[in-house]
Amino acid sequence: MRCIFRLLGVHGHVYSWSFPSSTEMRAMLGEPTCPEEHIVVSSLKGGEDKKNSSSYEDLEVEPETCSICLGILQFIYYDAKGLMVKKGTAISLALSISEQIKKEGHQLDSFSLEVSIPTVIQENEHIVHLYMKRKYRSELWFEERFSKCISTKEVLKFAMTNSLEKLLDVKSGPSSCRIRLTYAQTKPSSTVPSSVERGEGCKRRKTGASPVFDSVNDKLVDASNDCFHLSTTKGNALGESSSNGLEDHESSECIIFPEDKVNDPCHLVFLCYRTPIYLGGRYLKFSRNVSQTRWMIDDERMGEASVEEIIGGYILPVCHGDSYKFHAAGREDIDVRMLGSGRPFLVEIQNARHVPSEALVKEIEININNLNTQLVLVKNLKMVANEGWTLIHEGEAEKQKQYCALVWISRPLENQDLQSIASLKDLQILQKTPVRVLHRRSPLEREKIIHWMKIETIAESSQYFLLHLCTQISKQC
């Protein structure tokens, strides 16, 4: 019945109702002075024209599954377990969705509704329109009614959005939180008729089908000897070539609306998810036995911990996310400390059910620092958006890095050594691939530049000194 209303361009809250009475139908369609409107309703049901009757009572028995929307607007579907579910109204389906959202712990301040339906439904609408156009194009009411046809997706989103807003007590609109309803057909098929050709009857040309989803790959039409039927029990998603083929033959007698009911509604997969959120800042690493990311070789852990696990592993449960990714502006070796102002980093939380407030983010920073005072320290932790990647690129854009190394030489250090080292500017060297990464990188020699060096002597030692270097940044650093 909702398909009848939308194909006649009826707007309003009728799509949120349960099955309408004959009185409500007269109110929505207007009491006809002639039987044409009843003819439309009868035709859309797939029955015979009843030109001599103006009663709507026969419409009060809803068909098992609509052959146009495949039960979507009847709120009938197969669930993830393959069981048929009959909700009947938008509010009933919205109620089950809202309960699942709350059960999963999503905290919403707004949402956007996404709906995906099989393209075979668009083809169904197209064929119905051509059928009605051929049959009623001479009637005055036809263009006025059918030019305002509303799509299945628009009707579903309208009915579901209003219901979800009330149940979730938040408004819909552009949002990082998405509620997605994905409908897919049953009975996949590997072939699809791409056009209707004239000549010796209606011939069918087969071609490879393009699946809309992995589970959706059905045929839409079934051509007999001389007629073109809409048969959604054998449906598939057709492309433009199919629609154009139908358009070319709209004036012929080669389009017949189906009389058989569809027995199989679509499968519905419901998903509520949030686009990734980012927390960024800078980290300092004090231990020479902590890697930046989790490091495993032959199932053996390298180091006592990792910066990634210390920071990301604490943030993830606070945000109630599915997983996290750690991004940093370059990296340092496991036995190299990260001091100074720290290295920029981002923690990307996938499908966070809770977005931390500014106060909670500050608490996260304090807790990380209190728990790992000897290993890692976090500075300036905050929620970031697009500027978060700017923070990462900021570290990568710095062309120079400074290091300090403790050096021992076999002879006493002399003043000439200090002057010789200090005089070297933009020294070009060849750096071999480090032994520790030979298992994953080619053994090559790469040109590097040491911009300057200076020696800092150590009191009471003539063979130990600190060597300060300013070097060219490496993409692998």
Active-site amino acid positions: 333
- Name which of 345, 157, 17 is nearest 1 in CA terms: 17
Pairs from 209-213 (Cβ < 8 Å, separation ≥ 24): 209/236, 209/237, 210/237, 210/239, 211/237, 212/116, 212/118, 212/119, 212/184, 212/237, 213/116, 213/182, 213/184
- Name which of 193, 195, 216 is nearest 70 in CA terms: 216
- Name which of 213, 352, 368 is nearest 277 in CA terms: 352
Amino acid letter, 208: G
**For 468, which DSSP code?**
E
Backbone angles phi, psi at 306, to 5 degrees: -140, 150
Per DSSP, the three-state class of 217 is: coil
Per this entry, what is the length of the chain? Answer: 477
> How many other CB atoms sit within 10 Å of the CB of residue 302?
13
The answer to whether 405 and 469 are in contact (CB under 8 A) is yes
Token readout for 456 is 């800092």
Per DSSP, the three-state class of 195 is: strand
Inter-helix orientation angle 90-103/152-168, to 10°: 50
Per DSSP, the three-state class of 59 is: helix
Question: Token match 């150590």: residue?
Answer: 458
Identify the H or E element spanning 387.
Answer: helix 387-397
The answer to whether 380 and 445 are in contact (CB under 8 A) is no
Pairing, β 296-297 against β 191-197: unpaired
Q: How far apart are CA 372 and CA 293, in angstroms?
A: 16
